[in-house]
Structure 1
Amino acid sequence: MSVRLPLAARPLCASLLALVCAGSLAGCGGQSAGGVRTAPATQAQETTTPEAAAAPTLPSELPGLGPRTLAKIPAGTGQAVVVTGKGKNSPESTVVVYERTSEGWRAGAPWPAHNALRGWSEKHRMGDLRSPIGVFTLTDAGGRLADPGTKLPYSRSNGFSVGGTGFANEPLAGSFDYVVAIDYNRKPGTSPMDWTRPMGEDRGGGIWLHVDHGGPTHGCVSVGQDRMAELLRTLDPARKPIVVMGDAASLRR
């Protein structure tokens, strides 16, 4: 047979073959039940199902990004965490993890996220309560909890413990159970807890992807704990992962 079926129909393959055989024993054995030789079955023609015809083509460039942003993506990037803010002054955003394949960029499911209280800035400053806009590498991870299975270097420490409450009076405990350091004003290849600031202290730092606590951050991007564990298991330094982050309008430039 040369019947081409969509993935969702594969469990029906055995039933389909059984029906073909049952309809004419000659199609499987060359003879009818009475021993009379029959004409060989005609080979089924290839068909294109509506599902196959409607299969989407993967984009060759990361969606939602303009030429200025795309130009900053390093050559050879195979994984991209795209953080799209709802507005320049909004603390709410969406995270989508993309994997580059031979057919284009394949998107994961969108995750709700928080960013800094006052939104986004193209020139982040310490204490401005805005997240930096840009394209940054992702090289190091850590957290208070044990490594969930990441390929990134992982630093486990009780130093990732945090208390108190956030801007919405929500408890901050557990926010740093898992973190991925965003390589903004930091030294790649070190623990997220390393406070080296190559651009100077006034440009801020300590910008992480971390566990969401239910409210805006000081500058980081946060997603649910299960999503952070999934992200850590997904990121692979061999694929040169990056984060692309900013409000939607800025990213489209």
Structure 2
Amino acid sequence: MFNTTAIAFTGLALASGCALSCAGEPVFANIPAVGSSKQVILVVSPDRKSVTAELSAWEKSGGKWRQALPAMPANIGREGLGKEREGDGKSPIGVYRLTEAFGTVPKPLGVRMPYRTTNDTDYWVSDSASSQ
């Protein structure tokens, strides 16, 4: 079982005055949905309309969270962030458990999650009315 969680926040969610951490704990540490996750990918945007964000990766070891990778710029939905609704151009805000990884290259070294190499027979559908 892989315990990796992705979290998308807006700057509004961080209105407590804490950036990524308060009192030594990352802002996501007490979110119940993070549960027993050992890794977190955190995406923070300045506001809901922004199309850019900051992405950071965190790992829990010995009961403590530490930043595993330096924060980096990220692109999000063409309409920013919002509630989950197919086709609105927004990346969904929330906490999501990641169960597998995928990419166009063979499984990279060090990836322990189930991994799928995509090819020309794979496709993504953005039409919520589609039967696919």
1:94 corresponding residue in structure 2: 54
Structure showing greater radius of gyration is 1
* Structure with the higher fraction of residues in strand conformation: 2
2:119 is aligned, of 158, 161, 167, to: 158
Q: 2: distance between equivalents of 1:138 and 1:88?
A: 23
Shift of 1:129: 0.6
> Is contact 1:62–1:105 with CA below 8 Å preserved after alignment?
yes
* One-letter amino acid matched to 2:26: L
> Is contact 1:144–1:159 with CA below 8 Å preserved after alignment?
no
Asked if residue 62 in structure 1 is aligned to residue 23 in structure 2, the reply is: no
Deviations 1:126-171 (A, max 9, x none): 111101011101111122211112111111132388xxxxxxxxxx
Deviations 1:210-247 (A, max 9, x none): xxxxxxxxxxxxxxxxxxxxxxxxxxxxxxxxxxxxxx
> Is contact 1:144–1:160 with CA below 8 Å preserved after alignment?
no
Asked if residue 119 in structure 1 is aligned to residue 69 in structure 2, the reply is: no
Deviations 1:64-104 (A, max 9, x none): x496xx12222x21111101112110010011111112252
> Is contact 1:144–1:157 with CA below 8 Å preserved after alignment?
yes
1:110 is aligned, of 58, 64, 71, to: 71
2:104 is aligned, of 138, 141, 144, to: 144
How many residues align structurally? 103
Evaluate the alpha carbon distance shift between residue 160 and residue 79 of structure 1 in structure 2; reply closer, same or farther with a 3 A threshold: farther
> Is contact 1:92–1:115 with CA below 8 Å preserved after alignment?
yes
> Is contact 1:143–1:160 with CA below 8 Å preserved after alignment?
no
TM-score (normalised: structure 1): 0.36
Pairing 1:163-182 to 2, within 5 Å after superposition? none
Structure 1 unaligned regions, length at least 5: 1-57, 162-192, 196-200, 203-253
Deviations 1:109-142 (A, max 9, x none): 1011000011111x22111110101110111112
Pairing 1:225-240 to 2, within 5 Å after superposition? none
Q: 1: distance between equivalents of 2:29 and 2:104?
A: 37
1:84 is aligned, of 31, 44, 55, to: 44
Report runs of 4+ in structure 1 exceeding 6 Å deviation.
Answer: none
Evaluate the alpha carbon distance shift between residue 81 and residue 66 of structure 1 in structure 2; reply closer, same or farther with a 3 A threshold: closer
Identity %: 26
* Structure with the higher fraction of residues in helix conformation: 1
Q: 1: distance between equivalents of 2:76 and 2:112?
A: 25
